[in-house]
Every structure is written in C-alpha cells, then in structure tokens.
Amino acid sequence: MRSKRLNRHTVAAGHKNRRRARRGFACGAGVRVMVATLVTLNFWGCSQRQAVKPPATKPKPREIRAIWVTRFDYRTRRDVIDIVRNCHSLGLNTILFQVRGNGTAFYRSRLEPWADELGGDDPGFDPLAVACGEAHRLGMAMHAYVNVLPAWRGADPPQNPDQLYNKHPDWFWYDQTGRRQPLQSFYVSLNPCLPQVRRYLVDVFHELVTRYDIDGLHLDYIRFPSEPPASGPAGADYPRDPRTVALFTRQTHRRPDDDPAIWSRWRTDQVTQLVRQIRTMMHRTKPKLILSAAVGADPDAHRRTYHQDALRWMREGLIDWVMPMNYTSDPGLFARRNRRFLDARTDARLVPGIMIERPDMTAEQIIRHCRRQIGISRRQANGYCLFAYASLFARDPSDESAVRRMGRRREALTDVLAPKPPRPPRSEKR
C-alpha cells in the first residue's frame, strides 16, 4: 500500500512539475516574443528614421575660370612666366596652355620634333615645364592643350624629315581618286580611321601625361578638320585610301558609296574610338587628371559634318569637361546651346567657351557681351573659358594702341571675371 501511495504521490508531483514547466515555457516564450517584437519595432523605427533622413548634398564644385593660351602667344621663358602671372592677376584659376599645333612640340618630346615657331630646335627651356611650375606656385591649374588630328599647316611641306608629313605620308588623307589632301593655308590631317595612327597619338599624349606635372589634358580638333579649304577639290571624300576602305568593308560588308549614312557613322565611330583610347590610357596612368575637349556648339551639326559625337562622349564617360566653342553674340542662343549639353544629364561638366574678340562689335559692345555671357555661364554651369589670352594681353608690347585697348578691356571686365568674396558681417557696436 505504501509503495502504491508513493507512486501516486510521485506521479502527481510529476504532473504538477510538467504543468509548471509548460507554464514556464509559455511564459519564457512570451517574453522572447515580446523582446523580439520590441527589437523588430526598434529596428523598423531606426530604419524609418534613416529613410526619412535628408540625403547629404554634394559640395558645390569649384568655379572654373579658364582661358585658352595658344602657341602663338609665347616664344621665350619670360613670355611663359608673364602669361601665367597675367592670368592669375585677372582672378582666373585654370590655363589651357597649347603645346601641340600640327605634329610638332612646344615641350621636350621624345616622339615629335620641336615646333618651327621655336626655331625647330630646343630653345633652351621647356615651355610646358615652366608653365606648370609657375602656375602651381600661384595655385592655378595647368592643362596641356593639344590639336589632335592636324599634322601640318601651310602651303609648303615641313623641312624636317622627322615631321609626320614626311615620315608617315601614308597616315594622311587621300581621296577616292588616290590624291593626297593638298597643302594649303589650313591644316592637313592625320587619318583617325587607321589603328596605327590612333596608337601613335595615344603614345604622344601618354608622354605628356606621365612626364609633366599637368592637371589635365585638353583636346582640340578632336574631329575631322574638313572645313574649306581642307575639304579639298570639289567632290573629294576623305579618307579613301585602300587600307581605310578595307577596314570599313571588313566591318560593315559594304563599300563607302553603297551607304553614305553608314560610311559617315563609321568615321564618327573611329574618332570616338580615339577618345576612348586616350581615356583608357589616362585611367591607367593618372586617373585623377581631367580630360576635356573643345567641341562644336551645335553637337548634332558637328556629328554630321565633322564626325564629332560629343554627346556620346559625355554619356559614355569618356570626357570630364565638355567645352563647347559657343561663339555667338546672341545671349539667348548662347544659353540655348549650353542647355543642349546640360540636357544630356551626365557627370561630364559643362564649361562654355566665350569669344572675346569680335570684329563686328565696338569696344563697349564687346565688354557688355562678355559680361552677359560670363553671367549666363556662371548661372548655368558654374564656370567659363575665354578665347583667348591674346584678346586681353597684346602680343606685341610695342603696339601702344593694342596695349591701351587691351588694358581698358581688362579693367572693364576685372570685377566680373572673378567674383569678389562676400564681406564679413559688421560687428555690432557695444
């Protein structure tokens, strides 16, 4: 009997313990659910707070106040130093300094001969090195400015046998009859449809990027220089040498006369391919350098006529700054042309080009024109580029009339070229 009672008590106690355990488990589960719910709500609330947090705004980029300095503006070391200091005195912060005009160099190049403008030989100083040193001393950016496709200019051929016109005649333009693009007062051009030409140009620019302390590379004439008289005799079509035609036929299964629209588009693609190869080279060597291009103010017309597809370069991230040569005296047209590039909505920055010297305007009209367009550029793009240095500083200091005229122009534009910093608030009198 005792054992049975013990068993009954034991069994009852076991049931009671199991009931307590179930209640404890249920209670613990409830606590765990509550904790999990609180954690979830807290996380949800945090995520909600993060979601409604206003996005961080990017700092406004530095205003670009740039100017084109051509290769005709300097001959001596003193000229280069004066140019940089003069630009700095106007409040400009970026200089596009031309060092290649037509297949010759205004710097110590291992690939191209010295420019004839410097005597065709080492002048005893390196213009680009001097310009970089002086600009950086004054806190300015220095970009090497190059003409890409022009390879000679003038009615007479170059005397130097190492100049491209003599060294690589097969790299130039030939029409459908086999005639070479004739020498004249304008440029004769390299053929960007040939892979070896593109490789050579990339090597030239690689030398500039790697050997000089430049802040950017600026491409001009990155198009077919095919305006008259470079367009050649009536009916001439460039380039139609056998190698170019064979490349076109291999890629399209057509001849140039079979489909003029495809022939035109293919030539445009070859210029874009050159820009892409330059971009790739810069990314591999000095990825922080700025790649900019001077382009036509009407991108659609320039694509059709000169095989320059600037909007595509912007969309594909091939250039950092697009610099339309927006040379018009009509402020409305100037703003609409700028808007065409802004509407592309890419990361490429717009830097409108403004023409200073206008023979159709009086001195007072030029000043009003410049002030108005600088204001438009500042509002639309936070920057501008002036063409050119020689319109603000006389090349010949002995020309007293030009010196006075330039001086008055600079004085009238000084307050608009660089914005004055805001005055600090006046302290209250105690």
Q: Is the peptide bond prior to 256 cis by the omega test (within 30 degrees of 0)?
A: no
Greatest C-alpha distance within the chain: 137
* Cα distances (angstroms) measured from residue 195 to each of 105, 167, 213: 22, 17, 28
Give the span between the Cα atoms of 329 and 370, in whole angstroms.
Answer: 9
Span 368-394, pLDDT tens digits: 999 999 999 999 999 999 999 999 999
Whether the Cβ atoms of residue 281 and residue 318 lie closer than 8 Å to each other = no
pLDDT at 40: 46
pLDDT at 428: 46
Place of tokens 């606590």: 31
Name the E strands within 70-127: 94-100
Query: Closest Cα to residue 311, out of 264, 260, 266, 350?
Result: 350
- Name the residue ranges covered by the structural domains of the chain: 64-398
pLDDT at 354: 98
pLDDT at 67: 98
**How many residues does the structure list for the chain?**
430
Give the span between the Cα atoms of 151 and 158, in whole angstroms.
Answer: 10
pLDDT at 18: 53
Give the span between the Cα atoms of 76 and 280, in whole angstroms.
Answer: 34
Second-level CATH architecture of 64-398: Alpha-Beta Barrel (3.20)
Tens of pLDDT along the chain (430 residues) come to: 444 444 555 445 555 555 554 555 444 555 454 544 444 444 444 444 444 555 555 677 899 999 999 999 999 999 999 999 999 999 999 999 999 999 999 999 999 999 999 999 999 999 999 999 999 999 999 999 999 999 999 999 999 999 999 999 999 999 999 999 999 899 999 999 999 999 999 999 999 999 999 999 999 999 999 999 999 999 999 999 999 999 999 999 999 999 999 999 999 999 999 999 999 999 999 999 999 999 999 999 999 999 999 999 999 999 999 999 999 999 999 999 999 999 999 999 999 999 999 888 999 999 999 999 999 999 999 999 999 999 999 999 899 999 999 999 999 999 999 876 666 666 544 4
pLDDT at 418: 87
* Cα distances (angstroms) measured from residue 178 to each of 97, 175, 248, 263, 389: 37, 5, 17, 18, 41
Range 115-124 contact pairs with CB under 8 angstroms and sequence separation of 24 or more: 115/71, 116/158, 116/160, 117/71, 117/72, 117/75, 118/75, 120/159, 120/160, 123/75, 123/76, 124/77
* Cα distances (angstroms) measured from residue 350 to each of 76, 275, 311: 33, 18, 11
Q: In terms of pTM, does the model score above 0.75?
A: yes
